[in-house]
Amino acid sequence: MQAAVSDFGSAETRFVFDESRFQQDFFQLFGLPTSYRIDHTQLDQHYHALQVQVHPDKFSHLSEAERRVSMQWATRVNEAYQTLNNPIKRARYLLSLRGVDTQEETNTIMPAGFLMEQMEWHEAIQEAEEARDAGELDKLKLRLQHEVHVLQQQLADQIDIERDYAAATEGVRKLKFLEKLAEEINSAFDAIDN
C-alpha cells in the first residue's frame, strides 16, 4: 500500500511533526491541496493508505489503549473521506474553513426560475412513478446527473478561481435541492419495485 502514496509536489512546504495529525483539517490529513476540485484517484489512494495504518483490524491484538486510539482515528479518517468525497459536503466544509456559513437552514430564498424548475422536476418524477415507468425515471436520473455536474463545475470555479463565496453558498443550496430530487427518484424506483 505504501507505494500508493506519491509525493504531493508543490512549491511551498512545511513540516508537521510538531502538531498532532489528529487535529489537522481534512485536506491536510489527506495531504491534498485545499481546493474544491479534487483528484479522486489520489483521494481514494490516500484514504486507503491511511486506513491501512489506523484501522481497528490492525490493532485488535494490541492493548485497549491502542484499540481505542485506532477506533477514534479510523472514525475520523472515514468522516474526512466522506466529507471530501461528497460534492456538497466538500463545498460546505471548504467554505466553513474559509469562515463562510452556507446558511442551508436559515436562508431559504432561491431564485424564482430555479424554484420553478424544481416544481417541474418534482412533477415529472411523480408522473413517472404513477405511470410505473422505470425507463422514464432512468432518463430523469441521467438528466439530473448532468445538471449536478454543471452546477459542480460552476461551484469549483466560484470557490477555487473567482473566490465568490456568496455565489458559492447559493450553489451549495442549489445542489442540496438536486440531491433531494435524486432521493425522490430513488424512492420512486423503490415504489415501482414494490
Partner 1 sequence: MALLQISEPGMSAAPHEHRLAVGIDLGTTNSLVATVRNGISVVLNDEQGRALLPSVVRYLADGSVQAGEAAQAMQSEDPTNTIVSAKRFMGRGLSDIGNASGLHYHFVDAPGMVQLRTVAGVKSPVEVSAEILRVLRARAEEALGGGLVGAVITVPAYFDDAQRQATKDAAKLAGLNVLRLLNEPTAAAIAYGLDNAAEGVYAVYDLGGGTFDISILKLSRGVFEVLATNGNSALGGDDFDHRIYCWLLEKNNLSALGAADTRLLLTRARAAKEELTEHDETRVTAILRSGETIDTVLARQDFHDMSQNLVEHTLQPVRRALRDAGLAVTDIKGVVMVGGATRMPQVQRAVAEFFRQTPLTNLDPDKVVALGAAIQANVLAGNRSADDWLLLDVIPLSLGIETMGGLTEKIIPRNSTIPTARAQEFTTFKDGQTAMSVHVVQGERELVADCRSLARFELRGIPPMVAGAARIRITFQVDADGLLDVSARETGSGVEAHITVKPSYGLSDTEITRMLQDSNQHAQDDMQARALREQQVEAEQLLEAVQNALAQDAALLNKDEEAHILACMDGLRAVLQTADHHAIKRSVTQLNDATVTFAQARMDKSVSRVLGGRKLTDLET
The site for partner 1 (CB under 8 A) is made up of 1-2, 4-5, 7-17, 20-22, 25, 27-34, 44, 46, 48-58, 60-66, 68-71, 73-75, 78-79, 81-82, 186, 189-190, 193-194
Q: How far is the CB of 180 from partner 1 (least distance, A)?
A: 14
Which of 10, 3, 53, 12 minimizes the C-alpha distance to 29?
53
Cell of 113: 426560475
Q: In whole angstroms, give the CA distance from residue 163 to residue 68.
A: 40
Q: Is residue 29 within 8 Å of 21, Cβ to Cβ?
A: yes
Q: How far is the CB of 114 from partner 1 (least distance, A)?
A: 24
- Radius of gyration over every alpha carbon of the chain, rounded to an integer in angstroms: 20
Q: In whole angstroms, give the CA distance from residue 23 to residue 30.
A: 12
Measured in Å, how far apart are the chain's first and last C-alpha atoms? 43
Q: How far is the CB of 164 from partner 1 (least distance, A)?
A: 16
Q: How far is the CB of 166 from partner 1 (least distance, A)?
A: 19
